Structure 1
Amino acid sequence: MPLYKTITPNSQTTVKIWKITESYEALMQPITLRDESMKRVLGMKSDLHQRGFLSVRHLLAEFGYTDADLFYDCNGKPHLKDGKYISITHSFTFAGVIVSDIEVGIDIEKQREKIGVIAHKFIGYEFDYLVDTAWDYINKLTIIWCIKESLYKLFSTPGMLFREHFLVIPFMITDENTVAWIDYEDRKYRYNSHYFEFEGFTCAYVIS
């Protein structure tokens, strides 16, 4: 079973990362899906998306949950029936789940040059400390994207914009943590943000 990494940032929170190496059939065999989930996975056109969906169910099992313990609200935010907080992500050949007693968000992204093309769409304040000629520019952009995506998943409020409402405080890649803020409707929310890199991917998670 390719459980790739387990992180316990505090006594209330656990992160688990899955490396997706199995076939669709191998991932499907040991799990039970609700009818709704089965319909969803069968409707996916991409084999990689199907395997990502199923690997998340395997991660749920690592936490002691089943597909039946997971449900989504009207904004698409996942919840667990026992009241714990959960956030889910998958990108290409990796999937991740964070479970906590406090609100959390997680994101995994593959590090790709093309993120530089869309940087202006999600970067505002951060341009003040980013230098586009730096060797680690793409990696830092990916970290910022992952943090902001994690914030969006945690807050889950329609109308929020990465560029205008999310702020990531200056950091060095080796720090592996920074502070992020949500500035929305005249209120400010502070979050501890953590990140790490592996096999050409970046993972970030935020904790309230």
Structure 2
Amino acid sequence: MPERAFRTEILYMPLYKTIAVNENTTIRIWKIEESYEELLQDINPTAACLQRVHSMKSDIHRRGFLSVRQLLRASGYEAEALYYDTNGKPHLKDNNYISITHSFGFSAVIISNAPVGIDIEKQREKITVIADKFVDYEFGYLTQEDLVRKLTVIWCAKESLYKVFAVKGMSFKDHTKVIPFLLEDRQTASWIHYGNQIQKYQVPFLEFEGFTCAYALRAPLSPEK
């Protein structure tokens, strides 16, 4: 990331975690503990940004939305640098790639010079009830041991793939595969099979405070710093 982003990062103590994936890709995770008013400070929201946040009925959704803007600021971007296309996919005006996620008390952004996707999910038993909606091939290696945690990794991996690929009609169950993994590996690989396209992605993941975060990228990984 540019040096300006590094200098800015030092000033943002509420950042929960920063991961330098490689020299061109950085993840920043925010633990959402501030009030709505506190999160509004210093982000210079655009009119469209304010209109969107005011339309949200849930306080946690509003604060999640604003925490992402704080993450942008910590990455050296003003709120106006972010825009969404007609499919709802976020973009940065400097042509870097960005992916955004928030779940309950955490939010995250990943910014890179190559296509990337990220997802955070809370580990909950209810995922076992809906597993057949997004799992197919993976049932072949899943067992009852750590099932909730492994299903959450699979969901996050597939959501990250979807954010990278961003094609309408893409199905988690039919068009994505997550290869067998161990939780201690903190990384797996995933495939997209859609039409005549076959793409492989590296998908590192981490767990913290009952949450799982996974991110997908096609560029080779360097060791985590």
How many Å apart are 1:71 and its aligned residue? 0.5
User: 1:149-204, CA deviations, whole angstroms, 9 ceiling, x for partnerless residues?
Assistant: 00001111000000000000000000011110000102210001010000000000
Asked if 1:49 corresponds to 2:61, the answer is yes
User: 1:88-146, CA deviations, whole angstroms, 9 ceiling, x for partnerless residues?
Assistant: 00000000000001110000000000000000000000000001x21x10000000000
Asked if 1:169 corresponds to 2:179, the answer is yes
Asked if 1:192 corresponds to 2:202, the answer is yes
Normalising by structure 2, report the TM-score. Answer: 0.90
| Alignment equivalent of 2:147, drawn from 137, 141, 154 | 137
| Alignment equivalent of 1:148, drawn from 158, 162, 178 | 158
Where does residue 42 of structure 2 map in the other structure? Answer: 30
How many Å apart are 1:30 and its aligned residue? 2.1
| Alignment equivalent of 2:93, drawn from 55, 59, 81 | 81
Task: State the AA in 1 paired with 2:170.
Answer: M
Measured in 2, the distance between the counterparts of 1:128 and 1:114 equals: 20
Unaligned residue ranges in structure 1 (runs of 5+): none
| Alignment equivalent of 1:63, drawn from 75, 91, 96 | 75
Structure 1: 4+ residue segments shifted above 4 A:
none
Unaligned residue ranges in structure 2 (runs of 5+): 1-12, 219-225
Normalising by structure 1, report the TM-score. Answer: 0.98
Task: State the AA in 1 paired with 2:169.
Answer: G
Measured in 2, the distance between the counterparts of 1:76 and 1:173 equals: 32
Measured in 2, the distance between the counterparts of 1:176 and 1:202 equals: 11
RMSD: 0.7
Aligned residues: 206
